[in-house]
Structure 1
Amino acid sequence: MKLVTTSYVDNKKETFTKEYEMQVDNGAAMNVVNLYPDIEYQTFHGFGGAVTEAAGYAFSKLSKENQEKVADQYFGTEGNQYNLIRTHIDSCDFSLDNYEAMSDPDDVSMESFTLDRDEKYILPLLRAGLAKRKEPFDLMLTPWSPPAFMKTNGDRNHGGKLKKEFMGFWAEYICRYIKEYEAKGFPVNRITVQNEPEAVQSWDSCIFSGEEEKVFLRDYLYPALVKNDLERIKVNIWDHNKERLYDRAKAEIDADTDKMIDGIAFHWYTGDHFEAIGITKDAFPGKELIFTEGCVEYSRFDASQLSNAQMYAHDIIGNMNAGMTGFIDWNILLDEKGGPNHVNNYCDAPIMIDTKKDTFEQKLSFDYIGHFSRYIKKDAKRIAFTKYTDKLELTALKNPEGSLVLVALNRTEQDLPVSIRLEGKTVDFTVAKASIATAIF
């Protein structure tokens, strides 16, 4: 067994690896964690983050040498090995300003449609990641708002709704975006119908009730996908906070829409609500449950790297044990201000770039995410375990080739002993205080 541990003491992080020999189980009973790889739960699709215009802009300010290093950190074989990417259809708050692929209401054939803006910052970062990864991402596209002319408030920002007379046009617009991305060499696997459909924001936003989102999907978007030979694209609904996850699924999934909806996406901004994931999983078995956004907002959280990294690990573990099938962080990169953001809604990212000094900082959150993403492979199966104490937060998975991965988070100020029991053998080790550890069997 190999154990990788990251600790953070006196504002310094240290990662170290140690090998252990499994021993014959002679009746271990204290400090036990049992692993049961024969009991399997959901299939896990992988880890990733959002490539926003802000991320691409920050990336563009690095020298070629440092761009290579950053791309390696996220996508290389020795890095966090991201395979899931989410990006935005037209602008979002983490864009330099509002923009649209086309803004002419009279251009019904979309002749003015262009992805020139994506070509400036988003696609170069995607290409850099693809060069390191050497195989396509599982790519998700998400709209924050339809073009302003399609909305009741005539504005990309401040909520508003999609006008009924533009529902068909907006569905075709989304299909066009998918086709344009694929023509540029980026196959699209998934979309969400609308980012945060219940939030009126000062940035790009659009309101859909559960019934409105269902009608748009059923009567316009899904038929447009079929018409454009894009029925293979997986559609996720909601894409908002966990506390209403089940409510939204119940409002939208019925006999007509069940085949149209592949999953329910969720964010973390209103707290744990791990039970909501479990309830939704039980009520709608077979649906994806993908975490699609979470970040350390400067307006809400302090600058403690340890507490922020622990927040990530706590949420990943709780979500995964409840039934999550994929994890997509928010911006993978941001500049020294926590942007750019066209409404100054700044936040932290796992890698922060100083655009004036051509340097980057790898935050502790990056390492904590890596304790999962580097070792848990695409299509791993979550497996059963038991643990002796609630002071340890644990999850365990079995990779497709058969290796087992146990991630242990210790948020306490005391070292915690562990005796792993696995198929007639045991191994003892300690999870240090204020650390995260990954055991690979």
Structure 2
Amino acid sequence: MATRLFLVVLAVCALSLPTSASDCTEKKFKSGTVCVCDLTKCDEIPNIDLSSGQAATFTTANSGARLHRDIVYATNSDPLTSLHLTIDSSKTYQTIQGFGSTFSDASGANLRSLPDKLADTVIRQYFSESGLNLQFGRVPIASNDFSSRVYTYNDVADDYSMTHFSLQREDYQWKIPYMQMAQKYNHNLKFFGVPWSAPGWLKTTNSTSGYGSLLGSSQGTYHKAYVTYLLKFFEEYQKNGIEFWAMSTQNEPTSGGDKKTKAQSMLFTAETQRDFIKLDLGPALRTSSAAKAVKVLIMDDNRGNLPKWADTVLKDSETASYVAGIGLHSYQDSESDKHLQQTHDNHPKYFIFGTEASEGYKSKDSVDYGSWDRAEDYVEDILDDLNNWVAGWTERNLILDAQGGPSWVSDFADAPIIAFPALAQFYKQPMFYAIAHFSHFIKPGAVRIDHSLNLPNLDIQKSAFLNPDGSKVVIILNKNVLAPYSVSVKDSQRSSDHYQVHMGPRSIVTLYIQN
């Protein structure tokens, strides 16, 4: 039985016949447009409802469109453009695991500030198949910079057996309830835990916040106590019905060596992380009833540390036996792509996973309402990662307040959704729709496929994927602020038919083609 072929193209604006329009309630700001959601209305991604031979585009643009749906048709006539994009599913690359966001304390606090119905709407917008269809949830282990206070699960010094370990109100009020709510919309949701710091009494500085490293040495009292602390976290969450897919060894381990660091942090070098996994964490996970299936992600830092970090950790075969993947942050994406390519070449059995990305963290305006620049940054970031062997991508927060917090250390940032509890509303930023153009259409288990543009064009960025059901996804970004482009999209594995796609200035589109 022949496989039904679907073609999804994320491009810009298509030559098409309009069949539906976005139901976004627009609110305009200096930087652009947001979509306002309240207790009575929130825009949804239009359904894909096509008969044989039809196709649909979903357009998001700086001019205001938000996943606007149109009908388009294939043609075998001569292309009306000199730009030809060819996709080839016979050449495949990495498997895409999916996209995610973070159940930070700040996200939970903002969800709790909204009416229950509206908080449920936020979670549905992120995790349902009709929304972003996120597949991963990152969970801070205790507090981080997006908490309202510094806390750990055991501040009783010298309690090496962790007798006094206990989850905090943040877990019970701001994390677990919304993790469970997300599971209602995605039964296959995968959680990964990330520690920012051990309790201060286990660190060289005697402080949870700021720089410092774990006291002692591998297999020593302090290391064993910290491993017990981590295992207790998984045990307590399991009691609340939460199982974990993976854990990072440490969030941004290089920050723990910077004396200017104010937020919770802890230093690991590649060498100390290697030994910690080999001698302490790895063996303990294997014998844990609650965490024996938890995968280990190394590094969890910026790409400039690669491939050296991965080389150092994974060249030790015993350490490597405990490791599943390499965590990656997005804050050095201006660094050469060779960091990722070399890492994959050296360690092809280990997936690279984007564990944190955010916008506004270095800006005077942490929250920039309607910013297309930030949406475009996300598209570029995701495209760059996916084109260079990265298997997933994760946002730093689900939802923040108007200041970009709360954050006890004033490390404010932007988010795809901003809460306005006094109005019983939230705003969906252009960043939300930028993520949707990937996460809603690229399914877990998809593979990146070969793609090529016949002429070089610095305004256009692209990628292509084959979904498990045979659908295909091609992402194209036009960065030009004034110039439109037209692109002829052709599948080398199909007939001579192509789709003529018109790309408007600064926009993104999903073209979904059903044969």
TM-score bracket for the superposition, by shorter chain length: over 0.9
Q: Mark the runs of 5 or more structure 2 residues left unpaired by the alignment.
A: 1-54
Q: Is the 8 A contact 2:162 2:228 kept in 1?
A: no
User: For 2:295 and 2:512, how far apart are their aligned partners in 1?
Assistant: 32
User: For 1:287 and 1:194, how far apart are their aligned partners in 2?
Assistant: 18
Of the two structures, which has the highest relative contact order with CA contacts closer than 8 Å and spacing of 6 or more? Answer: 2
The match for 1:277 is 340
The match for 2:406 is 340
The match for 1:47 is 99
User: For 1:64 and 1:29, how far apart are their aligned partners in 2?
Assistant: 51
User: For 1:64 and 1:99, how far apart are their aligned partners in 2?
Assistant: 26
Matched, 1:142 2:194: yes
Question: What is the CA distance between 1:28 and its match in structure 2?
Answer: 8.6
Counterparts in 2 of 1:278-427, with a 5 A limit? 278-300=341-363, 303=368, 305-387=371-453, 388-390=455-457, 391-412=459-480, 413-422=482-491, 423-424=494-495, 425-427=497-499
User: For 2:96 and 2:373, how far apart are their aligned partners in 1?
Assistant: 26
Question: What is the CA distance between 1:27 and its match in structure 2?
Answer: 8.1
Matched, 1:249 2:301: no
Amino acid at match of 2:108: G
Question: What is the CA distance between 1:301 and its match in structure 2?
Answer: 6.9
Q: Is the 8 A contact 2:190 2:245 kept in 1?
A: yes
Question: What is the CA distance between 1:13 and its match in structure 2?
Answer: 4.1
The match for 1:227 is 287
C-alpha change, 1:348 and 1:29, in structure 2 (3 Å) is closer
SS at match of 2:214: coil
Matched, 1:125 2:188: no
User: For 2:452 and 2:162, how far apart are their aligned partners in 1?
Assistant: 56
Work out which of the residue numbers 318, 321, 332 in structure 2 matches 1:259. 321
C-alpha change, 1:185 and 1:268, in structure 2 (3 Å) is same
Question: What is the CA distance between 1:177 and its match in structure 2?
Answer: 1.1
The match for 1:190 is 246
Amino acid at match of 2:332: T
Give me the CA root mean square deviation. 1.7
Question: What is the CA distance between 1:298 and its match in structure 2?
Answer: 4.3
The match for 2:114 is 62
Q: Is the 8 A contact 1:144 1:204 kept in 2?
A: yes
Question: What is the CA distance between 1:79 and its match in structure 2?
Answer: 1.0
User: For 2:364 and 2:168, how far apart are their aligned partners in 1?
Assistant: 36
Matched, 1:92 2:144: yes
Q: Is the 8 A contact 1:25 1:421 kept in 2?
A: no
Matched, 1:434 2:486: no
Q: Is the 8 A contact 1:410 1:432 kept in 2?
A: yes
SS at match of 2:213: coil
Q: Is the 8 A contact 1:46 1:327 kept in 2?
A: yes
Q: Is the 8 A contact 2:143 2:149 kept in 1?
A: yes
Q: Is the 8 A contact 1:91 1:99 kept in 2?
A: yes
Amino acid at match of 1:265: G
SS at match of 2:153: coil
Bigger mean CA offset, 80-89 vs 25-34: 25-34
Amino acid at match of 1:211: E
C-alpha change, 1:279 and 1:300, in structure 2 (3 Å) is farther
User: For 2:193 and 2:296, how far apart are their aligned partners in 1?
Assistant: 10
SS at match of 1:324: coil
Amino acid at match of 1:4: F
Count of residues paired in the alignment = 438
C-alpha change, 1:420 and 1:301, in structure 2 (3 Å) is farther
User: For 1:347 and 1:382, how far apart are their aligned partners in 2?
Assistant: 31
User: For 2:422 and 2:222, how far apart are their aligned partners in 1?
Assistant: 43
The match for 2:5 is none
User: For 1:28 and 1:45, how far apart are their aligned partners in 2?
Assistant: 36
Identity fraction in percent: 26
Q: Mark the runs of 5 or more structure 1 residues left unpaired by the alignment.
A: none
Q: Is the 8 A contact 1:407 1:439 kept in 2?
A: no
User: For 1:342 and 1:173, how far apart are their aligned partners in 2?
Assistant: 23
Amino acid at match of 1:31: L
Q: Deviations over 1:359-389 (max 9, x none)?
A: 2110000001100011111111111110133
Question: What is the CA distance between 1:437 and its match in structure 2?
Answer: 1.4
User: For 2:79 and 2:104, how far apart are their aligned partners in 1?
Assistant: 53
User: For 2:164 and 2:379, how far apart are their aligned partners in 1?
Assistant: 44
Question: What is the CA distance between 1:287 and its match in structure 2?
Answer: 0.8
User: For 2:77 and 2:286, how far apart are their aligned partners in 1?
Assistant: 56
C-alpha change, 1:440 and 1:301, in structure 2 (3 Å) is farther
Matched, 1:7 2:61: yes
Q: Deviations over 1:184-215 (max 9, x none)?
A: 12210111100010113201000111111111
User: For 1:314 and 1:33, how far apart are their aligned partners in 2?
Assistant: 18
Question: What is the CA distance between 1:25 and its match in structure 2?
Answer: 7.1
Q: Deviations over 1:96-147 (max 9, x none)?
A: 10111112234343332222331121112212222222x0411110000001
User: For 2:272 and 2:73, how far apart are their aligned partners in 1?
Assistant: 57
Q: Is the 8 A contact 1:136 1:187 kept in 2?
A: no
Counterparts in 2 of 1:72-83, with a 5 A limit? 72-83=124-135
User: For 1:426 and 1:28, how far apart are their aligned partners in 2?
Assistant: 11
